[in-house]
Amino acid sequence: MISVVILGAGNVATHLFRGFSLAENVSVTQWYSRNLTTVEQYKNEVDITDDLSDLKVADVYIIAVSDDAVAKLSSKLEFENRMVVHTSGSVGIYDLDKKHNRGVFYPLQSFTKGAAMDFANVPICIETVDKKSYPLLKTLAKNLGSPVQKVNSDQRRVLHLAAVFVNNFTNQLYRIGHEITESEGAEFDMLKPLIVETAKKIEDLSPYRAQTGPAKRHDKKTIKKHLKQLDDNNHHKAVYELLTKSIQKTHGRKKL
Amino acid sequence: MISVVILGAGNVATHLFRGFSLAENVSVTQWYSRNLTTVEQYKNEVDITDDLSDLKVADVYIIAVSDDAVAKLSSKLEFENRMVVHTSGSVGIYDLDKKHNRGVFYPLQSFTKGAAMDFANVPICIETVDKKSYPLLKTLAKNLGSPVQKVNSDQRRVLHLAAVFVNNFTNQLYRIGHEITESEGAEFDMLKPLIVETAKKIEDLSPYRAQTGPAKRHDKKTIKKHLKQLDDNNHHKAVYELLTKSIQKTHGRKKL
Ligand SMILES: NC(=O)c1ccc[n+]([C@@H]2O[C@H](COP(=O)([O-])OP(=O)(O)OC[C@H]3O[C@@H](n4cnc5c(N)ncnc54)[C@H](OP(=O)(O)O)[C@@H]3O)[C@@H](O)[C@H]2O)c1
Ligand SMILES: NC(=O)c1ccc[n+]([C@@H]2O[C@H](COP(=O)([O-])OP(=O)(O)OC[C@H]3O[C@@H](n4cnc5c(N)ncnc54)[C@H](OP(=O)(O)O)[C@@H]3O)[C@@H](O)[C@H]2O)c1
């Protein structure tokens, strides 16, 4: 049985609490939040506290607070030589106070408190300063039902950056699709099956091979028509032009 | 029973043939391809031809050839007053020869010949010059198991443009994610669950509400770090900068 203390009460902390509660070989010993009201509703399921000097002994302490608060919170923990991990894609492992046995337990997904999440779809990226601690974190992730990957700090930073492209930026393209359709009385809902299909397609095919459309075909006539349609929105036009150029850079010149 | 002749033998024509073959109340009377070898493998299932003067009588003729070839092919059909539709998102309905009873049967999905496609995930956008013909095309689409929508030419053009954003451009963001991760020895595969989740999230939430991340939070520190990571690739950097700006334009200034 692995005992865990969760610190923080945001999106990630809440999902981890739920995930560990379902796990057979993990028990959540305590849940710390600086603001007790945020965890009050769980007080019958777990010991809650807002007092760092009151923390119980556990195998792993998981700091799931805002990136900027990770380092300071780790230094305020009043014990030494215990396993302390954070859950951030961009905070360094050495930002944790060196009195601890340090690690990273980064879940590569987009969490929101309200929406359900199956941990089978949450790859956990693990890093440890002391390599002897890796198996413990691996077992912890396996107990969530998550795929696990050993990932060093450089790789983690790069995954986090790539996640911005495939998650935040992709979502903004959906938003532009929404703006374009609704402005002409068309229904954005009609695009949803295409959106899901586009995401699923790359499960078997590389994004390189999955590419289609006027940019890749260097179909100048259609591109020109589209730019004309976007004439009254310079901003959407700039996105269209840059991503068309990007596709053409990736796929090279049209063969004649 | 609705009888159909399919013209063309590319991605869309092939999927339509498969779809109609499974439908209870549709029969494919004939399949035309200018190049007979492309449909030869189906000759035991359907009458095939490469001769336009040999076309049989049918309720609907579906022209599923390259956009540029639609108009000309429709004018070469040697009959009049029969229902003739094309399947394009960007070709006008009046580009079909006016001797026909004209319509559009535009499947809003991304087809590739090899990959299976469930028509339940293919919204069909229908337009007819003569509104009395709408029910016939609607029944045809319903027989595929597809959702159906009445869509005029302006709306169709706008859906086609929006599809470029949510399909081609999104796929290019996946490609950039691929380039970024692999260049640092990280695994692109780790991002796949996030990619699927991003697409699924907007089934219940608008893209506006689904947005998260450093751009929306105006998290200057992280944005600066990311731009530094992209320093040796001006091209990825330009995409990062423009889409960050785009998100901030959508979501306005940070509240202080
Ligand atoms: N959300 C995601 O999709 C996601 C995915 C992967 C990794 N992560 C990482 O996971 C961590 C948590 O993210 P999140 O989305 O769960 O954040 P969040 O929902 O914004 O929650 C942040 C939590 O940190 C607490 N907090 C902030 N400053 C604190 C301080 N000085 N002392 C103690 N607690 C403090 C907040 O408490 P109050 O409620 O009292 O303000 C809140 O409970 C971050 O490192 C993030 O990078 C997030
Ligand atoms: N693919 C999609 O995802 C998709 C989605 C929605 C709508 N559409 C629309 O559906 C239509 C067909 O697209 P597709 O992807 O199926 O195209 P495709 O795979 O490139 O196939 C084009 C077909 O048109 C034939 N063709 C070209 N020029 C011709 C001509 N002058 N006379 C007779 N046949 C000719 C080709 O014959 P050869 O094999 O002999 O060259 C081929 O069979 C287009 O209007 C397209 O905009 C496509």
Q: Residue ranges of the domains in chain B? A: 2-151, 156-250
- Say yes or no: CB of residue A87 within 6 Å of ligand 1: yes
**The pLDDT value given to residue A200:** 95
Atom index in ligand 2 nearest the CA of residue B73 equals 32
Contact A167 B110 (CB under 8 A): no
A147: nearest CA partner in chain B: B190
Contact B166 A186 (CB under 8 A): no
**A171-222, pLDDT tens digit by residue?**
999 999 999 999 989 999 999 999 999 999 999 999 999 999 999 999 998 9
Enter the tokens of residue A119: 């941990």
**A4-62, pLDDT tens digit by residue?**
999 999 999 999 999 999 999 999 999 999 999 999 999 999 999 999 999 999 999 99
Residues of chain A contacting B223 with CB distance shorter than 8 Å? none
Residue B16 has pLDDT above 70, yes or no: yes
For the beta carbon of residue A117, count every other beta carbon within 10 angstroms: 18
In residues, how long is chain A?
A: 256
CA distance A12 to chain B (A): 14
Residue B158 CA, ligand 1 centroid: distance in Å: 40
Cα–Cα nearest to A176, from B169, B148, B123, B141: B169
Enter the tokens of residue B210: 């689904």
Rounded to the nearest 5 percent, the helix, strand and coil shares of chain A are: 50, 15, 35
B188 CB-near residues (< 8 Å, 6+ apart) = A162, B177, B178, B181, B182
Are the C-beta atoms of B20 and B42 separated by less than 8 Å? no
- Say yes or no: CB of residue A65 within 6 Å of ligand 1: yes
- Which CATH architecture does the domain made up of B156-250 adopt? Orthogonal Bundle (1.10)
User: How many CB contacts within 8 angstroms connect chain A with chain B?
Assistant: 286
Q: Is residue B60 very low, low, confident or very high in pLDDT (cuts 50, 70, 90)?
A: very high
Give one DSSP letter per residue of A104-156, joined into a string.
EEEE-S---SSS---GGG-PEEEEESSGGGHHHHHHHHHHHT--EEE--HHHH
Query: What is the distance between the alpha carbons of residues B29 and B21, in angstroms, rounded to a whole number?
Result: 11
Cα–Cα nearest to B184, from B234, B124, B132, B233: B233
Which of A122, A172, A198 is nearest residue B110 as measured by Cβ atoms? A198
Are the C-beta atoms of A35 and A59 separated by less than 8 Å? no
Highest mean pLDDT pick, A112-116, B24-28, B114-118? B24-28
Contact A229 B122 (CB under 8 A): no
Residue A22 CA, ligand 2 centroid: distance in Å: 51
**A220-250, pLDDT tens digit by residue?**
989 999 999 999 999 999 999 999 999 999 9
Residue A147 CA, ligand 2 centroid: distance in Å: 41
Ligand with smallest separation from the Cα of A73:
1
Would you say the C-alpha torsion A45, A46, A47, A50 has a positive or negative sign?
negative
Decide the pairing of beta strands B83-86 and A48-49.
unpaired
Task: Go through B125-162 and write b for each residue having 16 or more CB atoms within 10 A of its CB, e for each that does not.
Answer: bbbbeeeebeebbbebbebbebbbbebeeebbbbbbbb
CA distance B4 to chain A (A): 25
Contact B159 A112 (CB under 8 A): no
Give, to the nearest 10 degrees, the angle between helix A234-251 and helix B170-183.
50
Q: Which residue has the tokens 């990770």?
A: A70
Is domain A2-151 in CATH 2.60.40.10, yes or no? Answer: no
Q: Which residue has the tokens 């002994």?
A: A57
Enter the tokens of residue A178: 């929404």
Contact B172 A200 (CB under 8 A): no
Residue A90 CA, ligand 1 centroid: distance in Å: 13
Contact A167 B213 (CB under 8 A): yes
- Say yes or no: CB of residue B88 within 6 Å of ligand 2: yes
Burial tier of A132 (Cβ tally within 10 Å: 0-12, 13-18, 19+): exposed
CA distance A44 to chain B (A): 31
Atom index in ligand 2 nearest the CA of residue B110 equals 3
- Say yes or no: CB of residue B83 within 6 Å of ligand 2: no
Atom index in ligand 2 nearest the CA of residue B35 equals 40
Query: What is the distance between the alpha carbons of residues A236 and A150, in angstroms, rounded to a whole number?
Result: 39
B129-140 mean pLDDT: 98
Per CATH, A2-151 and A156-250 having the same topology is answered no
The DSSP code for A192 is H
Residue A238 CA, ligand 2 centroid: distance in Å: 29
**The pLDDT value given to residue B184:** 87
Cα–Cα nearest to A170, from B223, B248, B207: B207
Atom 47 of ligand 2, nearest CA residue: B88
Q: Which helix (H) or strand (E) holds A245?
A: helix A234-251
Contact A225 B121 (CB under 8 A): no
Q: Is residue B254 very low, low, confident or very high in pLDDT (cuts 50, 70, 90)?
A: low
Enter the tokens of residue A238: 């700039």
pTM assigned to the model = 0.93
Query: What is the distance between the alpha carbons of residues B156 and B92, in angstroms, rounded to a whole number?
Result: 9
Query: What is the distance between the alpha carbons of residues B127 and B143, in angstroms, rounded to a whole number?
Result: 17
**A68-109, pLDDT tens digit by residue?**
999 999 999 999 999 999 999 999 999 999 999 999 999 999
A186: nearest CA partner in chain B: B155
**The pLDDT value given to residue B180:** 96
Are the C-beta atoms of A102 and A112 separated by less than 8 Å? no
**The pLDDT value given to residue B255:** 56
**The pLDDT value given to residue A83:** 98
Atom 18 of ligand 1, nearest CA residue: A10
B243 CB-near residues (< 8 Å, 6+ apart) = A168, A169, A172, A239, B215
Ligand with smallest separation from the Cα of A108:
1
Residues of chain A contacting B201 with CB distance shorter than 8 Å? 110, 115, 171
